[in-house]
Amino acid sequence: MANGESEVGADAPAGGFVQLLTPEGERVDSVTTADGTTYSVDFTDEEYRGLYRDLVTVRRLDSEALALQRQGELGLWASLLGQEAAQVGSGRALRSQDMAFPTYREHGVLYTRGIDPIMPFGLFRGVDQGGWDANEHKFNGYTIVIGAQTLHATGYAMGVTMDGKTGSPDGEAVIAYFGDGATSQGEVNEAFVWSGVFNAPIVFFCQNNQYAISEPLERQTRIPLYRRATGFGFPGVRIDGNDVLASYAVTRSALDRARQGEGPTLIEAYTYRMGAHTSSDDPTRYRIASEVESWKAKDPISRLKAFLAKQKIGDDDFFDEVDEAAKQLALDLRERVLAMPDPQPVTMFDHVYPNGSPDLDEQRRQFTDYQASFEGSGH
Amino acid sequence: MSRIKEFPLPDLGEGLTEGEILSWLVKVGDTIELNQPIVEVETAKAAVEIPAKWGGVVARIFFEAGTTVEVGAPIIAIDTDPSAGPLPDFDGPVPSAESLAAVQIAPAEGAVEPGMAGSPAPNAGRTPVLVGYGPKTTAAKRRPRLGGTPVAAPPIAETPPPPPAPVPAPNPKPAPGVRTAGPVLAKPPVRKLARDLGVDLTAITGTGPLGSVSRDDVHQAASARQQAATAAPSVTTARAAAVFDASREQRVPIKGVRKLTAENMVASAFTAPHVTEFLTIDVTRSMKALEKIKGRREFRDVRISPLLLVAKAVLLAVKRHPMVNSTWSGATNEIVVKEYVNLGIASATERGLIVPNIKDAGRLTLRELAEALNTLVQVARSGKTPPSDMSGGTLSITNVGVFGVDTGTPILPPGESAILAFGAIKPMPWVHKGKVKPRQVTTLSLSFDHRIIDGELGSKFLRDIGDFLTDPEGALLSWS
């Protein structure tokens, strides 16, 4: 037991992981890892119910988005199915001042940041470039380039230190999301080097969903991913990525460590992508059905539901109400997505320079005139 | 909106063009819910289930399982309001015309041509792609330009309509959207067609949108021309009345070298009062001298032409009459007489007339002059003459003889005071030593700026050139 991880959980991979809620819905009080860190959570009933609502909601919104793609309303969608706990747990562990750097799959983290879930749909519907205000939401743009955001996050985190915003319990921290495939990218390794050397206040949150599109984990690494951190000089922890409580507890601890000025942490959330890599992918071509079935038994929502039911924290009325609320949210999202206006061509000139430029203004004027030369150009 | 909604096969994976229907999960008459899986489709990338876009009752299924369907084709019709009663006249599994328009490729006969304003955007020709965002799944329609479409009232053109031809012209017909100015509107394939058929686009009155020339216009113009050609001999009563309109005119844009040449010629012709003198001479001896030079070892590998001797004659004559090698400087009220001769050689190139000059030609030996002439001509023909070679000329020669004419009245290059035209050398009957004999004869003409050069000076200069070319050895000996 290299990591001194949970005693329970026969489902754990070799080397173990931090697990606070078993697939059967049993709570594990606390887990102490080999480095002496103890992880636990102390949630009120309301907080437990809130996490459940988050999980159900993000899954429902995700399935609605996938349906919209299949119906020709989105160009592409990257489903988070199976990874809800990793995202909701880590997302809820963030504090308002913390900055998140997502990939294109972090819809659950986005939701927990309190952002209107429609925000990324413009990108996938092709009506905008996905350029939201990262500072306003403390949530950077969805990054399509694999691993690139880890360097952005590292630079941002180094900036946080330079601004003197670390070193206190109310300091700022940064979290960078990426997948198992990204760990093979040079950028991610550079980010590890720089963060380690500069003691940057950053948490590297790797959702190991076992596949880099079709490439299985064993072709990415010879050792568990979390152990790579040791070589870069900061701690690595593996968690049960399907356990929202472990995800919350370990991320909160790592973020606090970062905001106190104690440097980076790598968290490997051991999970599974139940769906396709994106809507353009067919996972049946490279995964066997029995593997997918075995992970269904570890579903993040059913284990929390079982726990809530057993502990009498949630009853059928509550579960039904959550389902219905999520459905309404999804239908509302559908309607708003379908009503998204087509972009006006002239908007391509927006956001090129922060303070404009004479050349660009002239181009915009000419283009506006050109557009106005067509019939029906009332707008 | 209609209660019957048709669902077109979407692009399921970033640029796919088709999908095969593996199996239907619903059948006609089934009540379905929003997002209920209805059909399994396999594309080049994945086999996926498609969820219903609307709840309702399945009204029609357009394609059987096993069919490969183009993206954009409707595959199912759903009655989204079945409680509203039976459907009026809705029978036959036929997609509506509107929905079929989404996959239609060619516009109907007489419709606006693809690619023109008001026509379907060119998304119909799909090409399979494996990555990135490819074809659209809906047919967008280009918005027509303001004022660009024909209206009921006859169009008011800025130019008055051409007067009616005495006999109906075979090809032009009134354009619905009259083009009033600017270049000919025609798409590249139409331009190619016109080129292939030898039809001049500018001579066609386009009948396409905005007065553009369409393929039909080109074909019509070509066949009209052919008819005219074949009809003429067979018709005995009267030839088709000649038409003198744009259909028989060619318009060449004035630009580039042509434009520059024109400006220079006009500037020169209207600022320098030209006088031109002519002299016809017997150059038989010069031709013999050329042959001798060609036989000399030092000229073995260099091309020798009559122009070389003409150039030499001019350079030698300039030494005797330096005033001809000068510039009128109105600004300073001076005549600038140059001690160097930058000898211009007018050259016909593909780009038009250019007059590059040989710098300080007066200092060159005959062999060097021959090389410089060859280089100058080759560079000019290749179109690579640098601007520096074309400026600073002081006196020029134009070799119109290469075009087979006897002579001409050249116009001075701006800033120069004399230019010699050198006509074709041909055998002519000539009085030689008291007898008429065939001799090699040519005509020289010299244009000069009469502000600087009087008739006397011009005549002496031309006479000296003629003397040299008539008897090179004698001239050389007597002048030196």
Structural domain boundaries of chain B? 1-143, 147-251, 256-479
Q: Say if residue A350's pLDDT is above 70.
A: yes
- Our CA-based measurement puts residue A288 at a distance from the nearest CA of chain B, in whole angstroms, of 15
Look at A70 and B117 and tell me if their CB atoms are within 8 Å. Answer: no
Size of interface A-B (CB pairs under 8 A): 62
Cα–chain center distance at B192: 12
Contact with chain B for residue A76, Cβ under 8 A: yes
Question: CB under 8 Å to A53, separation ≥6 — which residues?
Answer: A322, A325, A326
The residue to which tokens 């303001």 are assigned: B146
DSSP B53: S
Kindly list the distances between the CA atom of residue B406 and the CA atoms of B61, B146, B400, B460, in Å, as whole numbers in the listed order.
85, 59, 8, 21
Record: contact B146-A374, CB cut-off 8 A: yes
The answer to whether the Cβ–Cβ distance between B46 and A70 falls below 8 Å is no
Q: In chain A, what residues touch B70 (CB-CB under 8 Å)?
A: none
For residue B192, the tally of other CB atoms under 10 A from its CB is: 12
Say if residue B114's pLDDT is above 60. Answer: no
How do residues B307-320 score in pLDDT, each as one tens digit? 999 999 999 999 99
pLDDT (average), residues A14-41: 94
Q: Report whether pLDDT(A153) > 80.
A: yes
pLDDT computed for residue B174 by the predictor: 42
DSSP A163: T
Burial of B4 (0-12, 13-18, 19+ CB in 10 A): middle
Determine contact, residues B475/B467, Cβ cutoff 8 Å.
Answer: yes
Which of B36, B42, B49, B53 would best serve as a mutation to test chain A binding (most A beta carbons within 10 A)? B53
Interacting residues of A257 by C-beta distance below 8 A, sequence separation 6+ = A263, A265
Identity of the residue in A63, A67, A375 whose CB atom sits nearest the CB atom of B144: A375
Distances (CA, A) of B427 to B287, B310, B380, B443: 12, 18, 30, 12
Q: What are phi and psi of A318, to 5 degrees?
A: -65, -45
Are A175 and A202 within 8 A, CB to CB? Answer: yes
Suggest the residue from A68, A287, A375, A379 to mutate for an interface test with chain B (most B CBs closer than 10 A): A375
Q: What's the confidence (pLDDT) of residue B388?
A: 80
Q: Please state whether B15 falls in left (phi above 0), alpha (psi between -120 and 50) or beta.
A: left
Q: Report the candidate in A74, A60, A61, A57 with the shortest Cα–Cα distance to residue A338.
A: A74
- d(CA A12, CA A18) in angstroms, rounded, equals 9
Interface of A with B in 3-62 (CB under 8 A): none
pLDDT at B201: 85
| Inter-chain residue contact A71 with B48, CB threshold 8 Å | no
Measured over the CA atoms of residue B321, residue B326, residue B330 and residue B331, the dihedral's sign is: negative
Q: Could you give the maximum distance between any two Cα atoms of chain A, in Å?
A: 73
Residues of B in contact with A372 (CB under 8 A): 146
Residue A378's closest chain B neighbor by CA? Answer: B146
pLDDT tens digits, residue range A44-92?
A: 999 999 999 999 999 999 999 999 999 999 999 999 999 999 999 999 9
For chain A, positions 240-279, list CB contacts with chain B under 8 A: 276, 279
Closest listed residue to residue B157, CA positions, set B177, B139, B134, B129:
B177
Dig out the tokens for B457 from the structure.
Answer: 């000076």
Q: For residue B168, what pLDDT band results from cuts at 50, 70 and 90?
A: very low
Which chain B residue shows the shortest CA-CA distance from A282? B46
Q: Using CB atoms, pick whichever of B50, B144, B145 lies closest to residue A70.
A: B50
pLDDT of residue B120: 44
The neighbour count for residue B251, using CB atoms within 10 Å, is 12
For B13, the closest of A280, A284, A285 (CB atoms) is: A280
Task: Please name the member of B35, B46, B146 whose beta carbon is closest to the beta carbon of A276.
Answer: B46
Distance CA A32, CA B370 (A): 98
> Per-residue pLDDT tens for B224-259?
887 777 665 544 555 667 778 777 888 887 777 777
> pLDDT value at position B139?
52
pLDDT for residue B78 is more than 70: yes
Provide the pLDDT for residue A345.
87
Q: What is the pLDDT of residue A30?
A: 95
Q: Report yes or no for ipTM above 0.90.
A: no
* Average pLDDT, rounded, for chain A: 93
Assess whether pLDDT exceeds 80 at residue B135.
Answer: no
Tokens 């000076």 — which residue? B457
CB burial readout A286-315, b (16+ within 10 A) else e? ebeeeebeebeebbbbbbbbbbbeeeebbe
CATH class of this structure's domain B1-143: mainly beta
A281-285, A371-375, B72-76: the lowest-pLDDT one: A371-375
Say what the pLDDT of residue B338 is.
Answer: 92
Average pLDDT over residues B121-139: 47
Segment B447-461 shows an average pLDDT of 93
Q: How far is Cα B256 from Cα B262, in angstroms, rounded to an integer? A: 10
Residue of A66, A71, A127 best to disrupt the B interface, most CBs of B under 10 A:
A71
For A189-226, write each residue's pLDDT tens digit: 999 999 999 999 999 999 999 999 999 999 999 999 99
Q: What is the widest separation between alpha-carbon atoms in chain B?
A: 122
pLDDT at B383: 77
Residues near A192 by beta carbon (within 8 Å), at least 6 away in sequence: A204, A228, A229, A232, A234, A264, A266
Which stretch, B66-80, B91-105, B346-360, has highest mean pLDDT?
Answer: B66-80
* Catalytic residue flag (residue A379): no
Decide which of B81 and B153 is more confident: B81
pLDDT tens track for A245-290: 999 999 999 999 999 999 999 999 999 999 999 998 989 889 999 9
Given B11, B45, B145, which is nearest A375 (Cβ)?
Answer: B145
| Most confidently predicted of A32-41, A52-61, B124-133 | A52-61
B chain contacts of residue A374, beta-carbon cutoff 8 Å: 117, 143-146
Please state, in angstroms and rounded to a whole number, the distance separating the CA atoms of residues B49 and B24: 10
User: pLDDT tier at B106 (50, 70, 90 boundaries)?
Assistant: very low
Model pTM?
A: 0.58
By C-alpha distance, which of B62, B65, B89, B83 is closest to B6?
B62
The CA distance from A129 to the nearest CA of chain B, in Å, is: 14
Q: Which of B55-64, B167-176, B343-352 has the lowest mean pLDDT?
A: B167-176
CB contact under 8 A, A126 and B10: no
Residue B242 has a pLDDT of: 77
CA distance B20 to chain A (A): 15
- The verdict on a CB contact (< 8 Å) between B143 and A374 is yes
Q: What are phi and psi of A275, to 5 degrees?
A: -100, -160
Q: Which is catalytic among the residues A286, A336, A365, A370?
A: A286
More confident residue, B175 or B90: B90
pLDDT exceeds cutoff 70 at B148 = no
| Cα Rg of chain B, angstroms | 38
Tell me, what's the pLDDT at B152?
Answer: 46
Q: Which residues of B are less than 8 Å from A279 in CB distance?
A: 12-13, 48
List helix spans (H) across chain A: 45-70, 84-93, 107-112, 121-125, 134-137, 148-162, 186-198, 228-232, 244-259, 289-296, 300-310, 316-338, 358-372
Query: Which residues are CB-neighbours of A330 under 8 A, at least 6 positions away?
Result: A60, A61, A63, A64
pLDDT of the residue at B204: 84
Answer whether B143 sits within 8 Å of A377, measured CB to CB: yes
- Give the residue among A165, A195, A173, A141 at the shortest CA–CA distance from A251: A173
User: So what's the pLDDT on residue B137?
Assistant: 47
What does the pLDDT read at residue A141?
96
CB nearest to A67's CB, from B12, B51, B143: B51
B148 contacts in A (CB within 8 Å)?
375
Q: Which residue has the tokens 């967008």?
A: B140
Residue B352 identity (one-letter amino acid) = G
Q: Cβ separation of A72 and B11 shorter than 8 Å?
A: yes
Q: Provide the pLDDT for residue B82.
A: 86
**Neighbour count for residue B403 (Cβ, 10 Å):** 10
Residue pair A296/A78 in contact by the 8 Å Cβ criterion: no
Q: What percent of chain B has pLDDT over 70?
A: 78
pLDDT: which is higher, A126 or B125: A126
* Tokens linked to B393: 């000329």
Distance of alpha carbon B97 from alpha carbon A208, whole angstroms = 50
- For A40-61, the DSSP string reads E----HHHHHHHHHHHHHHHHH
CB B476 within 8 A of CB B336: no
Question: Which position among A273, A287, A303, A364 bears the catalytic label?
Answer: A273
What is the Cα–Cα distance from B136 to B138, expressed in whole angstroms? 6
Among B12, B14, B45, the residue with its CB nearest the CB of A70 is B12
Distance CA B100, CA A316 (A): 48
Give 3-state DSSP helix, strand, coil % of chain A, rounded to 5.
45, 10, 40
Residue to substitute from B17, B40, B43, B45, interface A, most A β-carbons within 10 A = B45
Between chains, do A375 and B11 touch, taking CB under 8 Å as contact?
A: no
Q: Average per-residue pLDDT in chain B?
A: 80
Say yes or no for a CB contact (<8 Å) between B143 and A284.
Answer: no
Active site residues per annotation of B: 450
Which string of b and e fits A260-281 if b means at least 16 CB within 10 Å? Answer: bebbbbbbbbbbbbbbbbbbbb
- Min mean pLDDT across A47-51, B87-91, B264-268, B362-366 is at B87-91
Closest-CA distance of chain B to residue A334, Å: 10
Q: Which residues of B touch A (CB under 8 A)?
A: 7-14, 34-35, 45-51, 53, 117, 133, 137, 143-146, 148-149
What was the pLDDT predicted at A336? 97
Mutate to test the interface with B, among A73, A214, A280 (most CBs of B within 10 A): A280
Architecture of domain A30-338: 3-Layer(aba) Sandwich (3.40)
Whether A335 and chain B come into contact, CB under 8 Å, resolves to no
CATH number 3.30.559.10 given to B256-479? yes
Alpha carbon of A195: minimum distance to chain B alpha carbons (Å): 34
Cα–Cα–Cα angle for B437, B441, B444, rounded to 5 degrees: 150
Which pLDDT belongs to residue A316? 96
A166 and A258 Cβ atoms separated by less than 8 Å:
yes
Looking at A228, A238, A277, A287, which residue is catalytic? A277
pLDDT of residue B38: 95
Tokens of A309: 């039911």
Task: Quote the minimal CA–CA distance from A147 to chain B in Å.
Answer: 20
Q: What pLDDT is stored for residue A373 in this prediction?
A: 87
Distances (CA, A) of A333 to A82, A326, A336: 21, 10, 5
Chain B: nearest CA to A271, how far in angstroms? 23
Name chain A contacts of B35, Cβ cutoff 8 Å.
63-64, 67
From the list A126, A66, A72, the residue with the least C-alpha distance to B102 is: A72
Question: Which of A278, A328, A337, A374 would best serve as a mutation to test chain B binding (most B beta carbons within 10 A)?
Answer: A374
**What's the rounded Cα separation, in Å, for the pair B208 and B110?**
10
